[in-house]
C-alpha cells in the first residue's frame, strides 16, 4: 500500500494543532469518512465559541426587565430562576409573586407557558425559586409539612398530574426544577429536598429535574445547611454580597477566596456558582465591576473542580447596566489572548488515497 497526499489544509490552535486524516480507497467497498471530517471540524468550531461563562439570573421582580422570552433570547443566560413563590408552608395558601408581570390569582400568568417553552427549546433551564426576601411569608413546620409543600410544587409547576382540574399558575409549562432562596432560618428544608428528589424520580416520561439553592456566603448557611448536607443539589449559587466578611473587598479577594474554598470543598457533587449583584443598586454591598471580576475575582475561583459560573441578581439590574454582556466580552477577549479558548486558526486535513 502506498499513500499520497491529495490536499492539505492547515489550521492551528494556540494550545496545539488538530490533525484529521481521511482515507479514501478507490477499490470496491471503500470507506468514505467525509462525514467524520465535517463532524470533527464542527467540534473545533464549537470549542472556539465555548469561552463564555455560564450565568444564572433571577427574573420576575421588576417589569422593566422585559418578558421571560426576551430574557432568554439575549443568549446570555444558561439558567433562569422565576422569582418567587413567596408564600408557602405552615398552613399558608401558597402564593406566586411576580410583581407586575402577571396576576397568578386571576390566571394571568398562564400566558408564560409559551415563553417558558421558548426558553427551554433554546436550551435555557427555567426553575421556580421559592422564598426570597418576603420574610414571614414562608416556613416549614414539620417533615409532614415539607412533604405537602413538595407535593404542591410537583403537581403545580413540575411533572405531577395532581388532582383533576388542579390549577397550574404557569399553565401547561413544566419547569426544570426548584430553587431554594431561603432568607430566614428555618428547619425541615432537608425534608423538602428529599421529598422533591423522590418525586423527581417518579416522572413517567423520564425527565430530569434540578434542585438548586442560593445560600449566603458565610459558611455554613443558617437556613440551608441541613438541606445542602443531603448532597441532592445540582447547582448552588452562593450569594457573595450583603455579607462583608466573605464578599470581595476592593483590592482584597482573601475573604471571598477563603469562603469559596469552604463552599466548594463542602459540595463536591454540586456545581458552585459565584453569586453577585448586577449593579451597585442591586445590593447593599458586594458589587464587583466586570473588569475587576474578570481580572481579580474569577482567577481566585475558576480553579475549583466544581466551579460552575456566576449567578446575578437580577435580570432587571443586568438589563440596565449590561453587566453580563460586558463580562462575556471581557472573558472572550481574555481567552483569545491566553489560549484558554479554542481559536480557529489551523486544522490539518490529510486526504489519503489507497492504491
Residue-by-residue DSSP string for 213-260? E--BSSSS-TTTHHHHTTS--SEEEEE-SS-TTTS-BTTB-HHHHHHH
- Read off the CATH number of the domain in which 170 is found: 3.20.20.80
C-alpha to C-alpha distance for 84 and 117, rounded to whole angstroms: 19
The answer to whether residues 41 and 57 belong to one domain is no
Percentage of the chain modeled with pLDDT above 90: 74
Question: What confidence score (pLDDT) does residue 340 get?
Answer: 52
The answer to whether residues 162 and 32 belong to one domain is no
Q: H helices of the chain, where?
A: 34-48, 68-73, 112-121, 143-157, 189-200, 225-228, 254-266, 290-292, 298-301, 315-321, 323-338
Q: Are 289 and 329 in contact (CB under 8 A)?
A: no
Around 268, how many Cα atoms within 13 Å sit in the side-chain half-sphere? 1
C-alpha to C-alpha distance for 310 and 239, rounded to whole angstroms: 10
Q: pLDDT averaged over the chain?
A: 84
Question: What confidence score (pLDDT) does residue 337 get?
Answer: 75
Query: Which domain range does residue 303 map to?
Result: 52-338
C-alpha to C-alpha distance for 117 and 170, rounded to whole angstroms: 11
| Residues 141-164: tens digit of each pLDDT | 999 999 999 999 999 999 998 665
The answer to whether residues 134 and 34 belong to one domain is no
The answer to whether residues 125 and 159 belong to one domain is yes
Question: What confidence score (pLDDT) does residue 17 get?
Answer: 36
pLDDT band at 77 (very low <50, low <70, confident <90, very high): very high
The answer to whether residues 136 and 14 belong to one domain is no
Least confident among 54-68, 164-178, 276-290: 164-178
Q: Does the structure show a pLDDT above 80 at 60?
A: yes
The answer to whether residues 34 and 172 belong to one domain is no
23, 44, 151, 183: the active-site residue: 183
The answer to whether residues 71 and 24 belong to one domain is no
Vertex 191, ends 187 and 194: CA angle to 5°? 150
| Residues 83-134: tens digit of each pLDDT | 999 999 999 999 999 999 999 999 999 999 999 999 999 999 999 999 998 8
Beta-bridge mates of residue 69: none
The answer to whether residues 32 and 127 belong to one domain is no
The answer to whether residues 8 and 84 belong to one domain is no
Question: What confidence score (pLDDT) does residue 344 get?
Answer: 36
The answer to whether residues 124 and 12 belong to one domain is no
Question: What confidence score (pLDDT) does residue 334 get?
Answer: 84
The answer to whether residues 280 and 349 belong to one domain is no
3-state helix, strand, coil in the chain (%, to 5): 35, 25, 40
Question: What's the domain count of the chain?
Answer: 2
The answer to whether residues 73 and 132 belong to one domain is yes
Q: Is residue 302 flagged as an active site residue? A: no
Amino acid at each position: 500500500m502506498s499513500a499520497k497526499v491529495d490536499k492539505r489544509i492547515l489550521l492551528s490552535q494556540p494550545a496545539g494543532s488538530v490533525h484529521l486524516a481521511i482515507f479514501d480507497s478507490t477499490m470496491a467497498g471503500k470507506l468514505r469518512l467525509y462525514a467524520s471530517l465535517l463532524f470533527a471540524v464542527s467540534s473545533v468550531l464549537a470549542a472556539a465559541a465555548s469561552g463564555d461563562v455560564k450565568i444564572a439570573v433571577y427574573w420576575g421582580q421588576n417589569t422593566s426587565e422585559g418578558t421571560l422570552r426576551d430574557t432568554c433570547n439575549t443568549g446570555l443566560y444558561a439558567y433562569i430562576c422565576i422569582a418567587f413563590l413567596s408564600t408557602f408552608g405552615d398552613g399558608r395558601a401558597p402564593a406566586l409573586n411576580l410583581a407586575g408581570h402577571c396576576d397568578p390569582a386571576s390566571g394571568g400568568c398562564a400566558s408564560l407557558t409559551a415563553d417558558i417553552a421558548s426558553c427551554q427549546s433554546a436550551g435555557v433551564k427555567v426553575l421556580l425559586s421559592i422564598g426570597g426576601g418576603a420574610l414571614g411569608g414562608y416556613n416549614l413546620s414539620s417533615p409532614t409539612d415539607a412533604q405537602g409543600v413538595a407535593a404542591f410544587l410537583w403537581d403545580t409547576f413540575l411533572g405531577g398530574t395532581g388532582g383533576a382540574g388542579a390549577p397550574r399558575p404557569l399553565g401547561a409549562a413544566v419547569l426544570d426544577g426548584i430553587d431554594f432562596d431561603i432568607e430566614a432560618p428555618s428547619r425541615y428544608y432537608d425534608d423538602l429536598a428529599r421529598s422533591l428528589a423522590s418525586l423527581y424520580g417518579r416522572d413517567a416520561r423520564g425527565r430530569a429535574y434540578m434542585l438548586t439553592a442560593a445560600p449566603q456566603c458565610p459558611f455554613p448557611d443558617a437556613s440551608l445547611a441541613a438541606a445542602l448536607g443531603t448532597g441532592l443539589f445540582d447547582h448552588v449559587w452562593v450569594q457573595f454580597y450583603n455579607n462583608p466578611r466573605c464578599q470581595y473587598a476592593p483590592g482584597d479577594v482573601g475573604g471571598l477566596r477563603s469562603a469559596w474554598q469552604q463552599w466548594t470543598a463542602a459540595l463536591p457533587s454540586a456545581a458552585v456558582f459565584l453569586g453577585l449583584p448586577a449593579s451597585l443598586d442591586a445590593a447593599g454591598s458586594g458589587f464587583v465591576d466586570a473588569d475587576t471580576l474578570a481580572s481579580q475575582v474569577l482567577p481566585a475561583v475558576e480553579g475549583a473542580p466544581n466551579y460552575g459560573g456566576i449567578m446575578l441578581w437580577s435580570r432587571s439590574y443586568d438589563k440596565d447596566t449590561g453587566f453580563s454582556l460586558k463580562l462575556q466580552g471581557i472573558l472572550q477577549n481574555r481567552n483569545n489572548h491566553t489560549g484558554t479558548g479554542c481559536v480557529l486558526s489551523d486544522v490539518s486535513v490529510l486526504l489519503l488515497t489507497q492504491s
